[in-house]
Chains A and B, each alone.
Chain A
Amino acid sequence: MTTEEIPEVESVTGTGVPVRGNDIDTDQIIPARFMKVVTFDGLGEFAFFDQRFDSATPAASRDGDGGAVEAQDDPKDHPFNDERFRDASVMVVNANFGCGSSREHAPQALMRWGIDAIVGESFAEIFAGNCLALGIPTVTADTETIESLQAWVDENPDGEIEVDVAAETVTYGGTTVEVAVDDAQRKALVDGVWDTTALMKSNADAVRATAESLPYVSLDD
């Protein structure tokens, strides 16, 4: 295969959006009924759908073209509906964000809405792994740091936040705080090796050798 350019993600800079609450699961991030699709295109508008809209029809869904949702949706109070945060790219969340299913539709929806980095107290593992596969850093800090940052974002919706993955810091409004980035994640993002397909494909011979060493594997040749 051709070697592709995998962008290095040393840092992400942008305005923030606070999404508060512990245990926000993937069913909230992207309700299952929006997953009846064969591509991820257009998922962005369904991010946090049920938190954002009081839909008159519980079965509100995309139309045949995978485009707009049905009309009867009443917007609710949610940061993703708030015009002030419409251009945000750094989401600030609380504990155990992204728990639940393995659906990559969740980070895909967030990414397509505009999120490039997430700062939070903690993340569910599969979710963090899915984010990494998309080049989205998920960095963590303690409860107080997160709450201060969320409060600051509320006050400063146009304020820039810099998530420095390499240095493990987040800088906003003249303050720099330390955050934690999982080692493998940092290396993958900073060195631009988060697209693992190319990396692993190059070990094809070693893969075959491992396969042949396992008693239960029967390969078709």
Chain B
Amino acid sequence: MSEGTLYDKVWENHAVAELPTGQTQLFVGLHLIHEVTSPQAFGMLRERDLDVAYPELTHATVDHIVPTADQSRPYGDDAAEEMMAELEENVREAGIQFSDPNSGDQGIVHVIGPEQGLTQPGKTIVCGDSHTSTHGAFGALAFGIGTSQIRDVLATGTVAMEKQKVRRIEVTGELGDGVEAKDVILEVIRRLGTEGGVGYVYEYAGEAIENLDMEGRMSICNMSIEGGARAGYVNPDETTYEWLRETDAFRDDPERFEELKPYWESVRSDADAEYDDVVVIDGDELEPVVTWGTTPGQGVGITQPIPSPEDLPADKRETARRAQEHMRVEPGETMEGYEIDVAFLGSCTNARLPDLRRAARIVEGRRVHPDVRAMVVPGSQRVQRAAEEEGLADVFREAGFEWRNAGCSMCLGMNEDQLEGDEACASSSNRNFIGRQGSKDGRTILMNPRMVAAAAIEGEVTDVRDLKEVTVA
């Protein structure tokens, strides 16, 4: 059993009681809600005549179904309109703050929490969304929950959980040119498997992690769930505090910042903390990773050959065979040169300002390949405005990208942004499951945002390190 880790400490601070099931009743410091997974929970509350226990610790946004082109109401899609209207009514009734599109603060739930300063170290954060793990980047204990648990949190401010093990993933060294946080996490999942993290919380540490900005840390924690770990975190440090200082929560209240800082410091993992497992990855050796298959664990370095199913562990072979058939890739080849039809730059993994900045530097002065439909969907309205102000939007538009409004968009194809037929998509998102992007024959290749930009330009999967970066003057 782990001891002295951030996980142990935050757990301890929030434990309310031991339940007859042996589970712990855990206090929830921040409950984020969105339109897809919350309406049923509010319905259950109504059935039982219960109120929302802690509306002041709850925050809502709309992201999954929101159209990213024409956002005038009522939405063109009746089902989307119905879900939005339902959320509006639920938050109004319960007195829950709502970052709706009119507020200028709307966006993907895992982008807006951090940017508004709602996400803080040492908090417990839940949301009916598996990528809630993202918020762990700030040293919060953050995990996705199901609808019945949303009901529990709404009704009681708590959730029933079993304590998990902690695996420290130490990434040593320095990431090379063109290698990003996204590549680190794709590599972790490739090595440990999509179920390697089941039963674990991941603590990401080591020089390469400490040197990442908050956005990079978020990309990594975001995909903990793709590795089977329900939560992942990075210990808070000066990088974390610098970010927090500039958020709504503390910009005008430096005193509150100083008041809370000792608590944040206190939850950091101790130097002699004990872990249930430790994995070390050499960051110097990494290269850009892309997926060749239909699970996020089916990844490969861009210059490396796609593995033959026979060379994989027995239980992975059948899935690999089917994946290779679906993707139409051959073992022994690299993914370089794999033709794409769509380039999607977006999602809660990689649609924050630095992601867009890096991608824009690749795109600037170039044109999107004539056979490619390319789009940028900023993670939030704030990201969108900032990118427009600093000219990134123009860079993308001039190159032939569509510049959209904030939302989940083609990450999961719940709005009108979907793959068609067997289109192949270079995507900065987190899931390449069959059907994920809206077409069951669609093919998704996960990669970092600069790699998406390079693929959009070349019309095929490209090693971004071979494309000379055009410096923005």
Contact B20 A37 (CB under 8 A): no
Contact with A along B287-300 (1 / 0, CB 8 A): 00000000100000
Segment with Cβ contacts to B, from A80-88, A155-163, A169-177, A189-197: A189-197
Name the distance in Å between A182's Cβ and chain B's nearest Cβ.
8
Contact B21 A187 (CB under 8 A): yes
Interface SS of B by simple majority? loop
Name the distance in Å between A60's Cβ and chain B's nearest Cβ.
10
Q: Identify which of B21, B83, B198 contacts A124 (C-beta below 8 A).
A: B198
- Smallest CB-CB separation from B22: which chain A residue? A184
Contacting residues, chain B, for A39 (C-beta < 8 A) = 39-40, 43
Q: Identify which of B17, B55, B130, B440 contacts A102 (C-beta below 8 A).
A: B130
The answer to whether the Cβ of A178 comes within 8 Å of any Cβ in the partner chain is no
Contact with B along A130-170 (1 / 0, CB 8 A): 10011000000001000000000000000000000000000
Q: Identify which of A33, A183, A213, A220 contacts B413 (C-beta below 8 A).
A: A33
Contact A201 B260 (CB under 8 A): no
Q: Identify which of A21, A124, A191 contacts B318 (C-beta below 8 A).
A: A21
Contacting residues, chain A, for B50 (C-beta < 8 A) = 1, 197, 201
The answer to whether the Cβ of A68 comes within 8 Å of any Cβ in the partner chain is no
Bound together, the chains give a CA A98 to CA B433 distance in angstroms of 12
Contact B40 A38 (CB under 8 A): yes
Bound together, the chains give a CA A64 to CA B421 distance in angstroms of 25
Contacting residues, chain B, for A104 (C-beta < 8 A) = 37, 40, 128, 146-148
Bound together, the chains give a CA A60 to CA B83 distance in angstroms of 19
Report which B residues bind A (CB closer than 8 A): 13-17, 19-23, 25, 27, 29, 36-37, 39-40, 43, 48-50, 53-57, 65, 77-80, 82-83, 86, 120, 122-123, 128-130, 144-149, 151-152, 155-158, 160, 162, 194-195, 198-199, 225, 228, 230, 259-260, 263, 295, 315-316, 318-319, 412-414, 418, 420-421, 431, 433-436, 438-440
Not counting A126-B145, A183-B22, A188-B21, a sample of 20 additional A-B residue pairs whose C-beta atoms are within 8 angstroms of each other reads A4-B48, A25-B433, A32-B412, A32-B436, A35-B414, A36-B65, A37-B79, A61-B79, A96-B194, A99-B195, A104-B37, A104-B128, A126-B130, A126-B144, A130-B147, A200-B156, A207-B27, A207-B156, A210-B16, A219-B56
Report which A residues bind B (CB closer than 8 A): 1, 4, 21-23, 25, 27-28, 31-33, 35-40, 50, 58-59, 61, 64, 95-96, 99-104, 107-108, 122, 124-126, 129-130, 133-134, 143, 182-184, 187-188, 191, 193-194, 196-197, 199-201, 203-204, 206-207, 210-211, 213-220
6 A-B pairs with least C-beta separation? A133-B148, A130-B146, A36-B79, A104-B147, A102-B144, A102-B130
